Amino acid sequence: MMMKETIAEAEKALLHTYNRYQLVLERGEGVWLYDMEGKRYLDFVAGIAVFALGYHYQDFDDALKAQIDKILHTSNYYYNLPAIEAAKSLKRISGMDRVFFTNSGAEAVEGAVKTARKYAYRKDGRTDHEIVAMNRSFHGRTMGALSVTGTPKYREAFEPMIGHIRFADLNDIESVKAQINERTCAVILETVQGEGGIYPANEDFLKELRGICEERDILLILDEIQCGMGRTGYYYAWQKYGVKPDIMTTAKALGGGVAVGAFLMTEKTAQRSLEAGDHGTTYGGNPFAAAAVAKMIELFEKNDILRHVREISAYFEKELDGLAGKYDFIRERRGSGLMQGLDCAGPVIGRAMDKGLLLINAGPSVIRLLPPLIITREHVDEMIRILDESLRETIA
């Protein structure tokens, strides 16, 4: 069956909730993906920041195969060794104190929101506490995560949301102060906004916000689902500034392609919030997913991935800046580390895909670049070559 016929079959069977590119991907190797007809693509999407180590990283594959031969699932009525090891490793690299494993980033956000509300409830017994979230943000598509997502088009058809959510502007501390009141229990934001257009939080903004939260006993929740696990050159983007959250969410690259997420918290937050029976999940922290987490962290440390990201990011940003300066219709290059965006107009992504380069958008006008963290200068050069051709054709 050829690719066109395969796509037609998919459209008959799958619920049409994605406007997919007309491409059937069949296998991957390193930083390359191959479609079912054998065409090769340089991958600067990485499954939306998931495949930090690329495809078929041998040590990672071997660890997963070994776990399959042992046990995949036990439920959380019992302990399992991979979950214990994964939690210890995740605590070490994050500096947080307690871990709850989920199956996805959206579930991690749900848990973070519940934690914040329970923390406030245990203080005063009230159920009308509010959360301040950011405009342009994206936290997921489940009802709680959607409620704190600051992009109206995602929420409108599903109103009413969970309620008691206010929105402020990222990097505008006065707008945040204007939304905080005596009922505010938490402020949630992406340390680097992803879907909303690749907007990093400023250091001064984060530090002032941290101070406000400490002064008023408001929990600071940092969503590190897309920008975490090394993408900015730090395990978590907030570590660059030393602005530690009370609750943090993580997923995507955490499992290197295996579906897993987590929310983490400080000991103080843990002791004053969720109790036995308050939250749970059937699959969260299962041995297979936890083995993936433990192995990912081991390989990051063994291969000094953070150092590599910081080194290659400088070259990556320099080359993107050169490209941005070449075309007037590129309004801005922004981002952090290997999470970059080019704000421009035109059908560039489709042209690049035809030439063997995979990119995605972030909002209506931003080209989002999220390569595997193992890319080299040669991969950056090839990406720039194809993207340059695609941009030039856009104005031809």
pLDDT number for residue 218: 98
Same domain? For 298 and 378 the reply is no
Same domain? For 367 and 240 the reply is no
In a domain, 353, yes or no: yes
Same domain? For 343 and 276 the reply is no
Same domain? For 191 and 229 the reply is yes
Q: Rounded distance, CA 307 to CA 312, Å?
A: 9
In a domain, 63, yes or no: no
SS3 133: strand
pLDDT number for residue 376: 98
In a domain, 66, yes or no: no
Of the residues 286, 302, 318, the one at which a domain ends: 302
pLDDT number for residue 346: 77
Same domain? For 316 and 388 the reply is yes
DSSP string covering 168-197, please? E-TT-HHHHHHH--TTEEEEEEESEE-TTT
Same domain? For 106 and 165 the reply is yes
Domain of residue 31: give its range: 3-57+304-395
Of the residues 246, 267, 302, the one at which a domain ends: 302
pLDDT number for residue 363: 85
Q: Rounded distance, CA 221 to CA 205, Å?
A: 14
In a domain, 264, yes or no: yes
Of the residues 245, 276, 302, the one at which a domain ends: 302
| CATH value at residue 171 | 3.40.640.10
| CATH value at residue 48 | 3.90.1150.10
DSSP string covering 12-52, please? HHS-S-----S--EEEEEBTEEEETT--EEEESSHHHHT-T
Q: How many CB atoms lie within 10 A of CB 195?
A: 22
Same domain? For 227 and 343 the reply is no
Number of domains in the chain: 2
In a domain, 312, yes or no: yes
What is the rounded (10 degree) CA torsion for 170, 175, 181, 184?
-10
CA distances from 214 to 187, 207, 210, 237 (A): 12, 11, 6, 20
Q: Rounded distance, CA 376 to CA 357, Å?
A: 15
> 10-residue block means of pLDDT along the chain (396 residues)?
91 94 96 97 98 97 98 97 98 98 98 98 97 98 97 94 97 98 98 97 98 98 98 98 98 98 98 97 98 98 98 98 95 97 91 97 94 98 98 85
In a domain, 62, yes or no: no
Q: Are strands 247-250 and 261-265 parallel, antiparallel or unpaired?
A: antiparallel
Same domain? For 293 and 311 the reply is no
Q: Rounded distance, CA 136 to CA 142, Å?
A: 17
Same domain? For 254 and 379 the reply is no
In a domain, 226, yes or no: yes
Same domain? For 281 and 309 the reply is no
pLDDT number for residue 395: 78
Nearest by Cα to 298 from 256, 263, 244: 256
Same domain? For 106 and 118 the reply is yes
Per-residue b or e along 311-348, where b marks 16 or more CB atoms closer than 10 Å to that residue's CB = ebbeebbebbeebbeebeebeebbbbbbbbbbbbebeb
Same domain? For 127 and 171 the reply is yes
pLDDT number for residue 378: 98
pLDDT number for residue 396: 66
CB 132 within 8 A of CB 168: yes
